[in-house]
Amino acid sequence: MPREFHEHYDAELPTLIERRRGLLEDAAGTPGGARSWLAFDADGVPVAIATSGPGRDADRPDFELHHIYTLNRTHGSGLGQRLITTAIGEKPAYLWILEGNPRAERFYARNGFIPDGTTMLCGPTWHLRPMFRMHRQ
């Protein structure tokens, strides 16, 4: 992503964390809603998040892995695998992935996801980057 994207989110991070905290608290009381999991390092610093829940795409009403984000320093540690196992287990699901992210695409392929041919552009916040959908039966 361009530098402006990171500058924007770095500046907004405290607000985003508080908003996410509120959403997590609200979701805990909503049966069947999306759920998020946070991972922390040994010092208690957040290093990853995963969110999953009911599908939001009209043509794929099954379960959706909304996102997994991990800090670069956790890559290769097995954290992403633990998060995907926690967030969706072995159930059928789908997800959206930015084009040009071969590491993530390999990760999801190892977990049984394949592209289903559906593509679209992200919104302006993500600089209208192309993304595609992957699913697992």
Residue in the structure block whose two tokens are 């992403």: 80
CA distances from 121 to 22, 26, 46, 63 (A): 28, 29, 29, 21
pLDDT tens digits along 100-124: 999 999 999 999 999 999 999 988 7
Full-model pTM: 0.78
The band of 58, judged by pLDDT with boundaries at 50, 70 and 90, is: confident
Q: CB of 120 within 8 A of CB of 131?
A: yes
**CATH top-level class for 3-136?**
alpha beta
Residue in the structure block whose two tokens are 């590491």: 103
3-state secondary structure at position 38: strand
Q: CB of 135 within 8 A of CB of 60?
A: yes
The band of 62, judged by pLDDT with boundaries at 50, 70 and 90, is: confident
